[in-house]
Amino acid sequence: MKKSANVVIIGGGITGCATAYELAVRGVKDIVVIEKQYLSSGATGRCGAGVRQQWGTETNAILARDSVKRFEGMNEELEYDRDIEFKQGGYLMVSYTQNEWNQYKKNVAIQHSLGIPTKMITPQEALEIVPHLNIKGLIGATFCQSDGHANPFHVVDAYYKAASRLGVKFETYTSVTGITREKGKVTSVQTSKGDIAASMVINACGYAAGTICKMVGFELPLYPQRHQALVTEPVEPCQGPMVISLHHRLYCQQTPHGSFIMGVGDPNEPKDFNINSSWEFLEDVARQATTVLPLLKNLRVVRQWSGLYDMSPDANPILDEVPDAKGMWVAAGFSGHGFMVAPQTAVLLAQKILGQNCFMPIERFGLERFSGGELLLESAVV
């Protein structure tokens, strides 16, 4: 392994790999990505893989809107030899309560102000988009056709290959054991394969970002939250959009392969690093999914897994330099939607680090908002 580097990126998920690429493509040499296991072994490879622009805060909506454009051209842009499987079947966000519907109206107003073409539709119109939707008690839905989902493993692979061609080195199965500071500046990273001298470190470890920050004595306001998911046997295509019901805590999509991927959030999930799978989840998700989408009742489950959201207090990411550790940047706290915003998060971070003009104000994602600043409270998280 290299003894020194210009930039060390910790975390080989979508955020780490995309940031490595965006820095390299802007001319940064000597970048090393350190990954504890294999690429996309953390939250990226365990996520629901959705890509939506229908957010309730401007910050999330802008990142997602611009990332969709990147996903659309990603195979070509990254000269990927496979396919990231970006399917723009839309996102149908269904609302079964008046409170939720009122919130959706506010969210859609924000989305329209940013040019995101979300439509507010009636239950009957929703039925035309998803014929097997249960519209009993449905008040309305919002639909955005250009939302969709992509294959996280392929997206990471695309960034990995593109970054490698630009000279980025990836060290997998390598753990970070410590970070050294001198006079308030980061100087080196200790790993299980040796030390790397570096004046810039990017902490893109998702739920483990807090652990890394503690190495320089900083408490990151993040907490891990387990989310479980399952995948079914494949059937012929019958559901275009990702269906989300916040009321049922459910999301459910059909992949291009034909299998359904779905999950439900558990409001009683403790703040813990536990990623075991539970039978309670199977019962819960089956009940919610067959309530909203009764057609799926006979689908067989192939496998279940779980992963950890890196929850920030306002469900918006943290993109900032750590106080008292100059050169150490945090890109974490994505709160369950890091995958879909990663292409533009990486651009924003690279622009900031290199002193270029940022396409949106990065200060909004700063750490100061947790110590007296204004929080960016996001309502639309599953």
Residues of the shown chain interacting with other proteins in the complex, contacts defined by CB under 8 A: 132, 233-236, 238, 258, 295-296, 298-300
Q: C-beta of 300: minimal distance to other proteins in Å?
A: 7
- Give the count of alpha carbons within 13 A of 278, CB side only: 16
For 141, the token pair is: 């839905």
Q: C-beta of 256: minimal distance to other proteins in Å?
A: 12
Minimum CB distance to other proteins smaller for 295 or for 381:
295
Minimum CB distance to other proteins smaller for 3 or for 300:
300
- Give the count of alpha carbons within 13 A of 369, CB side only: 18
Q: C-beta of 107: minimal distance to other proteins in Å?
A: 31
The one-letter amino acid at 380: A
Q: C-beta of 237: minimal distance to other proteins in Å?
A: 9
Minimum CB distance to other proteins smaller for 10 or for 293:
293
Instruction: Quote the distance between the C-alpha of residue 7 and its chain's center.
Output: 23
Provide the H-helix boundaries in the chain: 14-25, 43-46, 58-72, 74-77, 98-113, 123-129, 152-165, 209-214, 279-292, 338-353
Minimum CB distance to other proteins smaller for 69 or for 132:
132
Q: In the chain, what's the furthest Cα-to-Cα distance?
A: 64
Find where tokens 């960016």 sit.
376
**Hey, CA dihedral for 131, 245, 44, 76, is it positive or negative?**
positive
User: What HEC string does 125-188 produce?
Assistant: HHHHHCCCCCCCCCCEEEEECCCEECCHHHHHHHHHHHHHHCCCEEECCCCEEEEEEECCEEEE
- Which residue, among 88, 70, 89, has the nearest Cα to 80 in the 3D structure? 70
The one-letter amino acid at 173: Y
Residues 6+ apart with CB under 8 A from 219: 210, 213
Minimum CB distance to other proteins smaller for 193 or for 297:
297
Q: C-beta of 233: minimal distance to other proteins in Å?
A: 6
The one-letter amino acid at 146: S
Residues 6+ apart with CB under 8 A from 52: 64, 91, 144, 147, 242, 244, 337, 340
Q: C-beta of 302: minimal distance to other proteins in Å?
A: 10
Q: C-beta of 131: minimal distance to other proteins in Å?
A: 11
Minimum CB distance to other proteins smaller for 136 or for 300:
300
Q: C-beta of 254: minimal distance to other proteins in Å?
A: 10
Find where tokens 């309730």 sit.
56
Q: C-beta of 78: minimal distance to other proteins in Å?
A: 25
